[in-house]
Structure 1
Amino acid sequence: MSTETITPTTDTAPAHQVGLSDAAQQKVKSLLDQEGRDDLRLRIAVQPGGCSGLIYQLFFDERLLENDAVVAFDGVEVVVDQMSIPYLSGAQIDFEDTIQKQGFTIDNPNAQGSCACGDSFS
């Protein structure tokens, strides 16, 4: 896990408390290099849906919206919208690459429960 201090990338942008592991940072950098674009950020959001009521949205975004919280992790910017911040405070994004599973994972201390598929939480 990264021990980098979380600081906003601009003086006016609020900070969020979402962490990004070293493995996740490396994977995001690799994916951004494949895209060949330097204007994209990793956005994580929470939206209504799924079996348990809420789902994660994790995607690359070129937009910065008003009141977005932005934190840079060694060249990777992670953006969280204002409405999602309370749901994601303290969450850790990791990347697993094993024989059983490959993909990003989110360890969220705010999730009280999740569904059997693991795609949604409450």
Structure 2
Amino acid sequence: MTEQTTAPAHGVKLTDVAVEKVKSLLAQEGRDDLRLRLGVQPGGCSGLIYQLFFDERTLDGDAVVDFDGVGVVVDRMSTPYLDGASIDFSDTIEKQGFTIDNPNAGSSCACGDSFS
């Protein structure tokens, strides 16, 4: 995994498998101006929910880290909640999609979509 910091850094990591999946999705969209944005917002049964989506914007206070050509953006408010988190991609019979392993999550709900 090649990591290059381009703005204030955040502690989120992107696995090599996730990097390749993001590149594949961006190629399907035919866009090279999008970054993967990860954030948290109030909600869910445990208090906070993850947001993971493609974004063309960079907002004031965003922290950006480049992983082999894939920019990962975290907003200022979300950075402390996500420090040390790792984004991976699973494609198995049991699970398909991006997963977030967050050492800051003290507990999570049964659905796995929210944490505190």
Instruction: Indicate the TM-score class for this superposition, using the shorter chain for normalisation.
Output: over 0.9
Query: Structure 2: which amino acid aligns with 1:96?
Result: S
Residue type of the partner of 1:35?
A: E
Give the corresponding residue for 1:68. Answer: 62
Q: Give % identity.
A: 77
Q: Equivalents in 1 of 2:95, 2:61: separation in Å?
A: 34
Residue 107 of structure 1 corresponds to 101
Alignment RMSD (CA, Å): 0.8
TM-score by length of 2: 0.97
Structure 1: 5+ residue runs without aligned partners?
A: none
Hey, which bits of structure 1, 4+ residues long, moved more than 4 A? Answer: none
Q: CA deviation at 1:96?
A: 0.3
After TM superposition, give the deviation of residue 43 of structure 1 in Å: 0.1
What is the DSSP-based 3-state SS (H/G/I as helix, E as strand, rest coil) of the residue aligned with 2:5?
Answer: coil
Which letter maps to 1:8? T
Residue 25 (structure 1) aligns with: 19
Structure 2 residue 79 is the aligned partner of structure 1 residue 82 = no
Instruction: Name the SS for the 1:33 alignment partner.
Output: helix
Partners in 2 of 1:32 and 1:64 — Cα distance?
17
* More strand as a share of residues: 2
Partner of 1:38: 32
Query: 2:53 — aligned with what?
Result: 59
- TM-score using structure 1 length: 0.93
Aligned-partner SS, 1:95: strand
Cα deviation, 1:22-68, whole Å, max 9, x if unaligned, reads: 11001000000011011100000000000100000000000000110
